[in-house]
């Protein structure tokens, strides 16, 4: 496996496969997994442009996709302002996202309750400014240690940049990801509605 850091010069080469990995790895319980391939590519373009540290994992042994490019088996998107990328995507695609919400009203109901709960019950913001926004591994490559390789490499990158801690949030029902994070040393920071917030210190 080979980890390649994404930059503004190379990310466009991998955007299509990043969207494919997302589609393949995330369950339809995630709103974004209901986006079209083209919208997911746009979504990741916005995220990567707003991110400070993102990478992909390539299968450099035998894997190639159908047009002969090295196969992207996973990716990590992270930074202190990736949410600005999400906001940019939403502002450019309001109608599209609304149409997905209409097709999948479950998300609309969820959003309604999350908004009400956040008004009624103010929760403390996470202590971690640097956020791991998304980590995904192609399903046929899961449970082979690829997630751990990517996470270790990502954390080495953070240490090299002088970043000593970071955080993430994950849906509580994403049992596999929750177990992955807990086994990789994350500490639960808070639980808010259906999301769990984790924090990891890289100091020791």
Binding-site ranges for ligand COA (CB under 6 A): 25-26, 135-137, 142-148, 170, 174, 176-177, 179-180, 183
DSSP 8: T
Provide, rounded to whole angstroms, the least separation between the CB of residue 132 and ligand COA. 8
Provide, rounded to whole angstroms, the least separation between the CB of residue 143 and ligand COA. 4
Q: Which is nearer to ligand COA, 93 or 142 (CB)?
A: 142
Q: Which is nearer to ligand COA, 37 or 99 (CB)?
A: 37
Q: Which is nearer to ligand COA, 70 or 147 (CB)?
A: 147
Provide, rounded to whole angstroms, the least separation between the CB of residue 10 and ligand COA. 22
Q: Which sign, positive or negative, has the C-alpha torsion 70, 86, 199, 78?
A: positive
- The bridge status of strand 70-79 relative to strand 131-137 is antiparallel
Q: What share of the chain is helix, strand, coil (3-state, %, to 5)?
A: 50, 25, 25
Q: Which is nearer to ligand COA, 123 or 179 (CB)?
A: 179
Can you read off the two tokens belonging to residue 12? 């466009």
Give the side-chain half-sphere CA count within 13 A for 39.
Answer: 17
SS3 of residue 31 by DSSP = helix
Provide, rounded to whole angstroms, the least separation between the CB of residue 120 and ligand COA. 26
């Amino acid at each position: 496996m080979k980890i390649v850091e994404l930059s503004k010069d190379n990310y466009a080469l991998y955007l299509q496969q990043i969207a494919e990995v997302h589609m393949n790895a995330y369950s339809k319980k995630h709103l974004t997994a209901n986006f079209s391939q083209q919208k997911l590519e746009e979504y990741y373009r916005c995220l990567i442009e707003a991110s400070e540290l993102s990478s992909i994992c390539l299968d450099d042994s035998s894997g190639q996709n159908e047009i002969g490019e090295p196969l992207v088996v996973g990716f990590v998107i992270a930074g202190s302002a990736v949410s600005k990328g999400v906001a940019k995507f939403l502002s450019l695609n309001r109608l599209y996202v609304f149409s997905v919400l209409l097709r999948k009203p479950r998300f609309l109901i969820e959003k309604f309750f999350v908004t009400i709960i956040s008004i009624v019950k103010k929760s403390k913001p996470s202590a971690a400014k640097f956020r791991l926004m998304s980590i995904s591994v192609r399903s046929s490559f899961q449970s082979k240690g690829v997630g751990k390789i990517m996470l270790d490499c990502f954390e080495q990158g953070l240490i090299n940049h002088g970043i000593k801690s970071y955080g993430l949030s994950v849906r509580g029902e994403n049992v596999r990801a929750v177990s992955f994070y807990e086994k990789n040393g994350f500490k639960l920071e808070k639980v808010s509605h259906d999301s769990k917030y984790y924090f990891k210190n890289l100091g020791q």
